[in-house]
Amino acid sequence: MSLKRALRAAAVAVAVLLPWMGSPSQAQEWRGWNIHVPDYPNSRGMDRFGELVMQRTNNRIRMRTYHNATLGQQDEAIQQMRLGTIDFANYNLSPFNNLAPSTNVVTLPFIFRDVPHLHRVMDGPVGEALARDLEAIGIIALAWYDAGARSFYTRDRQIRTPEDMRGLKIRVQTSDLWIDMMRALGANPTPLPFGEVYTALQSGVIDGAENNWPSYESQRHFEHARIYSTTEHSNVPEVLAVSRQRWQRLNDQERNILRDAARESAAFQRQLWAERERRSREIVVAAGVTVVDITDRRPFANLMESVYAKHAGTPQLQALVRRIRETE
């Protein structure tokens, strides 16, 4: 090979390899995935995370969050992070149920006693076990976001007892645990992406769905599902995560900056969350939604034994369930 050709080949190799080597001091653009509207607590938490990282790295890591699921629905976005085409995101933990076993434990119905209990669990050893499982599939968990309690909302039927759920077509996230939970209640589970729920409610393809107050309100599901019954059957939390591919190329100082920024953004999100739950409830009530307040949830909880046995039945998962129950 002539010297000229060898030099040209070397130059091409450098041009191709440089972006992959990604030396940490080099400026980087990070794309963030988010499913929610821009003023949602999680969206504002992610924006705060991005601002803090940019400031503290002197704009070496530039972060932009794409709200409103413009980069795709949740299941696709998880795959994209694993492939390294999405760099950071806020995900609900249910879509990980079939991928990372310990996420089943925090999705289980009626597992948390209240919000302070949930925070203590997530900020302790159970949270660490979840983070290890997520890392194994390419997702680095930096902090946990609140997602409140999920309840059923329906087009026509008020839900007071499990008998009221019989035969109802209820939308769920893509997760075997959720499918079995609905079956145990006598309902007919229909997995659908979040972005399709509004139209499915409108057209009557489904009879109802389940979510927290802020999602029910901000996605305008209340326009077609006019009855909200406070079963509060799950408190599955959310993660603020970055892709392992990006993470592996950061130095220690950068990792610390990201961890601190994530922790601060989670404290901010949790504070906004509590306010937004109240406000969303007020908005839908003012819009004429019927709220069915359920005070005795035991008839629902009593039907969940088979779900616990099937989805948290291994010794490891049983140990995590025990840990959660023993957490003060």
- Applying CB under 6 A, the residues found at the interface with ligand BDP are 35, 74, 92, 147, 173, 194, 211-212, 215, 238
Tokens 């009593």 correspond to 302
Dihedral-angle region of residue 220 (phi above 0 means left; psi in -120 to 50 means alpha; beta otherwise):
left
Six-digit token pair at 110?
């009626």
CA 295 to CA 233: how far, in whole Å? Answer: 12
Considering just the CA atoms, what is the radius of gyration of the chain in Å?
Answer: 22
The Cα 270–Cα 119 span in angstroms is: 10
Min separation Cβ 255 and ligand BDP, Å: 25
φ, ψ for residue 20 (rounded to 5)? -80, -35
Q: How many other C-beta atoms are found inside a 10 Å radius of the C-beta of residue 22? A: 14
Torsion, CA 84, CA 89, CA 93, CA 96, rounded to 10 = -10
Q: Which is nearer to ligand BDP, 238 or 254 (CB)?
A: 238
The nearer residue to ligand BDP, 74 or 230, going by C-beta atoms, is: 74
Question: Which residues lie across from 211 on neighbouring strands?
Answer: 151
Q: For residue 328, what are the CA distances in angstroms to 112, 238, 271?
A: 11, 21, 22
Least distance CB 142 / ligand BDP (angstroms): 16
Q: How far is the CB of 23 from ligand BDP (least distance, A)?
A: 34
Closer to ligand BDP by CB, 94 or 102: give it.
Answer: 94
Q: Which residues pair with 150 in a beta bridge?
A: 234
Q: How far is the CB of 25 from ligand BDP (least distance, A)?
A: 34
Three-state secondary-structure class, residue 187 = coil
Q: Smaller CB distance to ligand BDP: residue 58 or 70?
A: 70
At closest approach, how far in Å is the CB of 194 from ligand BDP?
Answer: 3
- Closer CB to ligand BDP, 174 or 327, in the complex: 174
Nearer to ligand BDP, 89 or 184 (CB): 89
Q: Which is nearer to ligand BDP, 194 or 308 (CB)?
A: 194
d(CA 179, CA 194): 15
Token pair belonging to 61: 């890591």
Shortest Å, Cβ 254 to ligand BDP: 27
In the bound complex, what is the minimum distance in angstroms from residue 77's beta carbon to ligand BDP? 10
